[in-house]
Amino acid sequence: MNNESAAQYPILAGLEGPADLHEMTDQQLDALAEEMREAIIHTVSQTGGHLGASLGTIELTVALHCELESPRDKLVWDVGHQAYGHKLLTGRLAEFPTLRQQGGLSGFLKRSESEHDVVGAGHASTSISYAVGLAEAEARSGGRRGAVVCVIGDGAMTGGMAYEGLNQAGALGSPVVVVLNDNGMSISQNVGAMSRMLQRARVDSTITRVREELERAVSRVPGGGAVGTGLRDATKALWFESGALFEALGFAYMGPYDGHDVAAVRRAIRLAMRRNGPVLVHVKTTKGKGYEPAETDAEAMHGAGPFNPESGKSAPVSVPGPPSYTEVFGRALVAEAERDPRVVGITAAMLKGTGLQHLAARFPDRTYDVGIAEQHGVVFACGLAIAGMRPVCAMYSTFLQRAFDPIVHDAALQNLPIVFAIDRGGLVGDDGATHHGAFDIAYLRSIPNLTIMAPMDEAELVAMLHTALRIDGPVAIRYPRGAGVGVEIPDQPEVLEIGTGQVLESGERVALVGYGFGAQIARAAAERLHAQTGIRPTVVNARFVKPLDVALMRQLAARHDLVVTIEDHAAKGGFGSAVLEGVADMAVRVLVLGLPDHFIDHGKRDVLLAMAGLGPQQVADRIAAELATSARAVASPA
C-alpha cells in the first residue's frame, strides 16, 4: 500500500503483528475496527470479493487476536471469506489492494501467505474437524500447549461434517473453543432446523439477559463453580434448544453474545480458553455490519464485484451481453418443470448461484435448498427419484466433489434418473484453486450407468437438459461460469442422440475436438491456425464424454495426421484421456490439451486459460509447433 493509503489507516499501518493488540485500549481497538472496515470496503470496491461476511466479523476478529497469541495459539476460520480482517491484522495491509488479483493475495486463507493462516480452506463446515486434530496434536506435544479456536459461520452448521467434528470433540473432551458466528446467513438466508433454533435465540433477548445475569450472580457466590453447575442444570428450561444440543454433545455452551461488542467477546473467549474441554461460544453478528448497502442486501454483497463505495452500486454495463449459462439453465429448468410435474430442483445453499431462484419463484414447493450439504442433497434426490420424481441437482463442480460417494453408491449403482447440473465447470477466475471446477470429468467418467455431456453454447445447454430428463438413469451436464456466446435459443428444445458428436467444420490434416467450452476454443484456434499455416482443420463438438462417440473419434484418427482434444479440465483423466482410450490401437498422434497437473491460483479467467495453454492463440501455436516437429521428423528419419 502506498504512503497516502497507509496514512488513511494509521493504526493498522503501525501494527507489526496481532500481538500489538494486547496493549491497546478499548478506544484504540474501536478505532482500529473502523479502519479495518474502511480498508475492506475500499479494497473490495476495487477488486471485488466477499464483502459482507468479512465486515460482519471485524469486531470478532479484533477480540480473538486480543486474547490469542497467534501463531502459537491456533485460529482456524471456516471458509476464508470471513477473514479479510484477519489478513489485515496479520501483516498484509500493504498487499491488501492486490486481493484476488493475479499474483496477489488470495480471497481465502492460504498457508503459504502467512504463518497466521493455520489452514487454507475454501469449502465450508471443515473448521471443527481441523480444530479437533490440532488440539489432539497439541495435547501430545511437549512444552506449553497453545489454545485452539475455530470460527464457524452458522451457514456452515447446515453441513454434516460440522456435526461429525462436534461429535468427536465431545467424545474426546478435546480442549477446543468453537466460536459460532451466527448471522442468520451463509450466502443467502440459512435453511434448516438448526437455523430456526439459532434464530429463536437471536430474537429472544430475554434468554440472553437471564443467562448473563445468572452467570454474573453465580460468579460472585463462594464455590460458584459447583453451585453454577447445579443452577445450570436446574434452569435448562431457560435455555433454547441449540444450547442444550451442544451440551448433549459434550460442549460447554456460552452465549449468545453480541459479536460486535469487543469487550464482551473478549471476556467470553478468555473464560472459554480456561476450560479444559470443548466449549462453544455463540456470538450474534450482522452480515455487512457498518456498511448500509451490505447490511440491506447481504446476499448481493456476499460475493460482490467492483462497486461504487459511496452507493454500493456496481458500475453499469453499457452494452448488455448474452445471458450467463447459469441464467439460461435456471430458466430452462422452469420450462421443463412446466412441461413435467415430476421435475424438482435441489441445490446446496446456492439458490441464486445455480439459477434455481427462478424455479423457486415459479414452483416454490418443488424447489429444495438443503443447506451446505451436498452429500445429503444427492441422497435426498435418490429418495425423490425412487418415488417417481425427476430431481435436478444443481451444484458447482468444486462442491459436487463432496458428494462423490452417494453419486456412486446411491445414484449410479441403483441407476436412478437424477440430473446433475454441474455449474462452474472449469476455471472460475478470482476465487482460485478452491473453487476451480477442474476434476469433475475425471471423478465421474469411471462410474457405470452415468451419462456425461457438456454443451458448446447456451442453446445446446437447453437441449441437453431437455434430453437428460428423458434418460432413465443418472446424467451429468457440465457448463462453465460466465456469459454464453449469444446464440439464439429455440422455443422448443431438441432431444439429442445420446453419445453422438457433431462435426462443425470439415478440414484436413488436423482434427480439433473440443468438449464443452473446449469446442469454442477449438473454433477460435482453427481460425488462427488457418491464418498461420494455411491448413483448414476439422473442428468437432464432442458433446458427450460418456458414452463417447468412439466411431467418430476413430474416423477422425483414420483421416487426419493429428487429433487434438481441448477441454477446460485437468488433462489427466479427462476428455482427452477418453479419446486416447478409444483410439489406443490406431497409429495416430493425439495431442491432449487441458489444465496442467497442479492447482491453479486465482486470476482473470481468460488470463488463466492462456497461462494454461488453452487460449485460442496458444492452442494454434502449440499445434503449429507440433506439425513443424512432425515435418522435421519425416524429412530426417532416424
Catalytic residues: 287, 374, 402
Is residue 484 a contact partner of residue 535, using CB atoms and an 8 Å limit?
Answer: no
Burial of 477: CB neighbours in 10 Å, binned 0-12, 13-18, 19+: buried
Could you tell me which of 12, 84, 78, 3 has the C-alpha nearest to residue 48? 84
Could you tell me which of 444, 521, 509, 524 has the C-alpha nearest to residue 476? 444
Is residue 402 a contact partner of residue 160, using CB atoms and an 8 Å limit?
Answer: no
For residue 256, cis peptide bond before it (omega within 30 degrees of 0): yes
Question: Which one-letter amino acid corresponds to residue 372?
Answer: I
Torsion angle of the four alpha carbons 85, 87, 93, 98, in this order, in degrees rounded to the nearest 10: -110
Could you tell me which of 463, 474, 237 has the C-alpha nearest to residue 378? 474
CA 384, 387, 390 angle in degrees (round to 5)?
Answer: 55
Q: Where are the beta strands (DSSP E) in 342-433?
A: 343-347, 367-369, 390-396, 419-423
3-state SS, residue 593: strand
- 3-class DSSP string for 422-473: EECCECCCCCHHHCCECCHHHHHHCCCCCEEECCCCHHHHHHHHHHHCCCCC
What's the chain's length in residues? 638
Give me 252's grid cell: 460447554
Q: How far apart are CA 386 and CA 381, in angstroms?
A: 9
- 3-class DSSP string for 218-239: HHCCCCHHHHHHHHHHHCHHHC
Q: How far apart are CA 103 and CA 178, in angstroms?
A: 33
Give me 248's grid cell: 448433549
